[in-house]
């Protein structure tokens, strides 16, 4: 499912993806944007139906220059998007609290990506399986090969949508706080409180068969 054609090294900003507020934080480099997308697995999908906006959280997967989301065939979101409704998908990675010497200058360090476009349903069986696999591998690498593959009935009950990565931009904040020059003389601690997502000890299903070893996908889990 990888796109074998040569892709531009950067996304061309559009009127909708150009970062206007603090433009120095805008990122359009394709490799950097894909790095952010690949570090996450949770997105928010925004769309409008009959004048009512919705923002739905869901998992995703990336393969080549496409983003995949999936869910029940009965899902209102997926039905709406497969009908051609325009979509905005956002992915945000939170890296830390930025603590300044004034309340006004407090901030956060983050990496975020915005994807705009129109999604299409993946209907070819083999492409659908590969898309579902991409989502599974995005969430936890190696898990797909450890579990039972989806049945035909499960595939039929699942809708998979592909969103081309064409109109895309990222915004990134890093580093310490930016205070007013006179505030640097205040006796107030300032700096960054870093955050990172760290998995805790796995909790086995009480209905596991006896003496099952921890699978490699969990034992070696990292992001």
- What does the pLDDT average to over 20-42? 95
Does the global pTM surpass 0.95?
A: no
Closest CA to 193 of 176, 172, 216: 176
Q: What is the mean pLDDT of the chain?
A: 94
User: In whole angstroms, what is the distance from residue 15 CA to residue 32 CA?
Assistant: 21
Model confidence at 2: pLDDT above 60:
no
> Would you say the C-alpha torsion 11, 17, 20, 23 has a positive or negative sign?
negative
Domains of the chain: 23-219 (2.30.110.10)
Q: How confident is the model at residue 5 (pLDDT cuts 50, 70, 90)?
A: low
CB 60 within 8 A of CB 42: yes
DSSP at 10: B
For residue 112 the two structure tokens come to: 């975020």
pLDDT digits (tens, 9 = 90+) for 146-197: 999 999 999 999 999 999 999 999 999 999 999 999 999 999 999 999 999 8
Model confidence at 64: pLDDT above 70:
yes
């Amino acid at each position: 499912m990888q796109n074998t054609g040569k892709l531009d090294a950067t996304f061309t900003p559009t009127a909708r993806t150009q970062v206007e507020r603090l433009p120095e934080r805008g990122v359009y480099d394709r490799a950097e944007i894909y790095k952010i997308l690949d570090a996450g697995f949770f997105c928010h999908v925004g769309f409008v139906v009959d004048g009512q906006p919705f923002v739905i959280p869901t998992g995703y997967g990336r393969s080549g220059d496409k983003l995949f989301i999936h869910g029940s065939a009965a899902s209102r979101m997926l039905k709406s998007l497969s009908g051609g409704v325009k979509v905005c998908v956002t992915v945000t990675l939170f890296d830390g609290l930025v603590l300044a010497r004034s309340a006004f200058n407090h901030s956060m360090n983050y990496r975020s990506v915005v994807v705009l476009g129109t999604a299409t349903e993946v209907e070819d069986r083999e492409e659908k399986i590969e898309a579902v696999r991409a989502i599974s591998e995005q969430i936890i690498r190696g898990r797909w090969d450890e579990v039972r593959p989806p049945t035909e009935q499960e595939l039929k009950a699942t809708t998979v949508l592909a969103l081309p990565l064409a109109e895309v931009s990222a915004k990134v904040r890093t580093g310490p706080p930016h205070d007013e020059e006179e505030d640097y003389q205040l006796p107030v601690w300032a700096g960054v409180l870093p955050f990172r997502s760290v998995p805790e000890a796995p909790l086995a299903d009480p209905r596991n068969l006896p003496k099952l070893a921890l699978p490699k996908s969990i034992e070696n889990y990292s992001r």
